[in-house]
Structure 1
C-alpha cells in the first residue's frame, strides 16, 4: 500500500508527465491511467480509438492487476510489450511485460527495474527513466545492466528524433514557481562502443525551463519557461541551445504549458489559461512553429479544464483530458482527486469531430497514443480488502484536531 508521500509522488508523476507517452502508428488504441478504481489505486486501461457507439464502456479494458499502484502505461516500438510503473512489490519499479491475456500472465511475465517516467528511444532499443533522483538507461529486455547517466533530479525525458542516444530532460525541482532554477539539458550517450556520457545545458538563467519537446526534423526544441515572470513557450536550437538563438513563441500574463510538437512538424499544441489567466481554466491551443496561426482548438467553460494534448501519429487529431462531461458522482463518493477533470476525448485539429472515449466518475488523465494497434484483452479483476484506508480515503473527513498524527489524516492508520 502506498504511503502518503509515495502516493503524492505517484499522483504528481501522473499529472506532470506528458511522458507517459505511447503512440500508435495505426491510431487504433489509446492507453491511459485511471485513479480511483479498485481500492482507489492506479490502473492502466486500454480503449479503441473508435469504440462502439452503443456501449463504449464495454471496450474499456484494464491491463494491470487492479490491486496496486500502476501508471504511465507505454508501448515499446515494434514489439508487443507494455512498459509501466508499479508498486505491486512494495517499492516503485518499472515493468516490461507482453500484452497480458490473463491476470496470472500479467503478474508472472513482467520484468522489473526501479524507476519512473520511462520513455523509449525512437528505434525502440533503449529506455530512459528517472530514479528519483537520478536518470538511467536500460535495454528493453534488461540485458547489459542499468546505466546511470545523471545523478540529480530530472523529469520529462524525451528522445531526439534524428540523433541517436540524445535525450532531452529538465533538471531541477518539479512543480515549482516561475523563478525556480530548472533547466533544459541534452544528455548524449555516445554509440554502443563508447560509454562516454556528456551533458549540455541548453537554457540559460534557469527560470523554470521545462517540458522540452523536440521537432521531428531534429533541429529545434520547444519548451515552457518562466523567464518573463509568466510561463510561456520558447524555441531553441536542439544542439546549441540558447547560444544558437532563442525565439519566443507565445507571450502574455498567463500560463502556456505542456507543449507537444506534431509528428509532421507543422503544429505545436499546448494547454493554456490565456482566455482567463489565473482562473484555473485551461483550454487546448495550437500554433505554427513560426508563431502564426494561433487558435483555440477546444473550448472549455469559464471554469473548465481541458489539458494534456497529444498529437495522433497522422498529426490530424489530438487526444486530451477534459471536464466536458461534468461529474458522474458526488465528489465525496470518490477518492480525493488532484484535478477535477477526468474524461478522455479526441478532436480533429480543426476543432470538429469531438468524441468522448471514457465514461466514469474517476480521473482519467494524461492520455497518449500507442505505436500500433493493441488487441483488447481483459486481465480480469480481483478485489482485496486490506483493512486499511487507501489513497487519501480520509481527505473528505476534514479532521481539524492538530494533535492527530498525519498518518491518521491521510489514511495510513485510519
Structure 2
C-alpha cells in the first residue's frame, strides 16, 4: 500500500517512487476489461546473486506499474499503473497469471490498493472526489519532492462497480493494508496535520491514531499474525530540519530522501527503529514466517536511483541483499502461501521510465 506516499505507493527515481503514491487520471470509465500482454518468462543469470529467486515472470509490459498486491486467496492482483499513455495512475485488477485485466478506478489519481476478505472487493486511495483530472505536479523549483495529494479511501467491487467512499477527510489518506483477520485497515493520513499512522474498522469506524512523533510515518504493514506493524519513518533531531519539513508539508509536499524502518505493536505501543542504513528505505512487508522484513533501499548509494530488495531481522541484524538489478526494484510482497514474491522493477525495460511487475518463485 505501500505506497503507497509515492511511497507504499517506480522508474527513474522520480517516476518510480512517484507512481508508488501517484495514481490515475485519463478515462473516467471503470470496470473496463482491457487486453494484457502475455506474461514473459525471464531468465535470472546464474551469476546475478539473486539466489532466492527462480522462475522470474514479467506480468506487465509498458508504462509505470507498481504496488502489486495479492488477494488473500492468491487468485488476484491489484496494482496501479500509467499504462495506455495515462499521465498518472489508475487502479487495476488482474488474475495472478496476468490475464483478465480490469480498470476499477474512475479518474483522478489512485494509489495503494488492497483486497477485502473474499477477494470480491478491494479498497484504494483516490482523488477523483477533488477532480477527475490528475492533480498538478509539485513545483520543480522545490527540488525532488513528492506531492501530498488529497486521497481518500474508496471501496469497490473487483469489476469497478458499487464504489463508495470509506473516508472523508479531503487530505492525504492512503497506504491502506488489511489486517490478517480481515477486520481492520492500517493507513497513513494527514487528517490531524502530520503524516501519521492510523487503524480503523473495515467500515471506516473506530479510527485510532498510532503515531504522534513529528515527522513522516507511513507505509504501514501488518505482521502475518496481526500483532505488529512495520512502517517507514523519518523523525527530526533538530528544530531547523523539522520546521523545513513542516513548511513543505503546508505546501502539500514532502522530501523523501531519508527514511528508516520501524516496528510497533498493533496498538501503537513499543515503537522502535529497526534500521540505521541511511538513504531511503521504504515499501516494507514481511517474510511469511514473520521473522524478517523485506524492503527496498538505495542505502548503498543514497543519491542513486538504484533501489534493491533486502531482508532484515526485527532487531536490525542479518541484513541480506535479495536483488542486484542496477536500476529499481521495489514494493515486494509474498504470495499468501509464501512460495512466490511479486515486485516492481525497471529490469528489461524497453523505454526509459518503464516499471513493470514481476513474480518469481522464492527459494530460502
**Do the two structures share a fold, i.e. TM-score over 0.5?**
yes
Which one of the candidate residues 80, 100, 106 is aligned to 1:151?
A: 106
Which one of the candidate residues 43, 49, 54 is aligned to 1:57?
A: 49
Does 2:235 correspond to 1:274? yes
Which one of the candidate residues 157, 178, 182 is aligned to 1:188?
A: 157
Measured in 2, the distance between the counterparts of 1:166 and 1:147 equals 13
User: Residues 71-90 of structure 1 correspond to what in structure 2 (within 5 A)?
Assistant: 82=57, 84-87=59-62
Does 2:182 correspond to 1:205? no
Which residue is 2:37 aligned to? none
- RMSD between superposed Cα atoms in Å: 4.0
Measured in 1, the distance between the counterparts of 2:275 and 2:198 equals 22
Provide structure 2 residue ranges, at least 5 long, that are not aligned to the other structure.
1-9, 22-40, 83-88, 128-133, 138-145, 246-254, 342-346, 354-364
Q: 1:214 to 1:360 in 2, by over 3 A?
A: closer
Measured in 2, the distance between the counterparts of 1:127 and 1:86 equals 16
Which residue is 2:261 aligned to? 284
Kept in 2, the 8 Å contact 1:85–1:116? The answer is: no
Q: 1:199 to 1:117 in 2, by over 3 A?
A: same
What is the TM-score normalised by the length of structure 1? 0.56
Deviation at 1:356, TM superposition (A): 2.9
Which residue is 2:17 aligned to? 15
The DSSP-based 3-state class of the residue aligned with 1:258 is: strand
What is the TM-score normalised by the length of structure 2? 0.63
Deviation at 1:261, TM superposition (A): 1.3
Which one of the candidate residues 255, 260, 273 is aligned to 2:216?
A: 255
Deviations, residues 188-211 of structure 1 (Å, cap 9, x unaligned): 35xxxxx89322322122210011
Which residue is 1:234 aligned to? 198
Deviation at 1:167, TM superposition (A): 0.5
Measured in 2, the distance between the counterparts of 1:305 and 1:138 equals 30
Q: Size of the alignment, in residue pairs?
A: 280
Kept in 1, the 8 Å contact 2:313–2:319? The answer is: yes
Q: 1:321 to 1:140 in 2, by over 3 A?
A: closer
Does 2:293 correspond to 1:318? yes
Q: 1:364 to 1:142 in 2, by over 3 A?
A: closer
Which residue is 1:167 aligned to? 122
Provide structure 1 residue ranges, at least 5 long, that are not aligned to the other structure.
1-8, 20-42, 65-81, 94-114, 190-194, 332-336, 376-380, 385-389, 393-414
Which residue is 1:34 aligned to? none
Measured in 2, the distance between the counterparts of 1:141 and 1:343 equals 24
Which residue is 2:283 aligned to? 308
The DSSP-based 3-state class of the residue aligned with 1:198 is: coil
Which one has the largest radius of gyration?
Answer: 1
Deviation at 1:252, TM superposition (A): 2.9
Q: 1:130 to 1:318 in 2, by over 3 A?
A: closer
Which one of the candidate residues 334, 342, 359 is aligned to 1:369?
A: 334
Q: 1:350 to 1:155 in 2, by over 3 A?
A: same
Measured in 1, the distance between the counterparts of 2:61 and 2:349 equals 17
Deviations, residues 135-173 of structure 1 (Å, cap 9, x unaligned): 444445687x6555332232221112x343121111026
Which residue is 1:192 aligned to? none
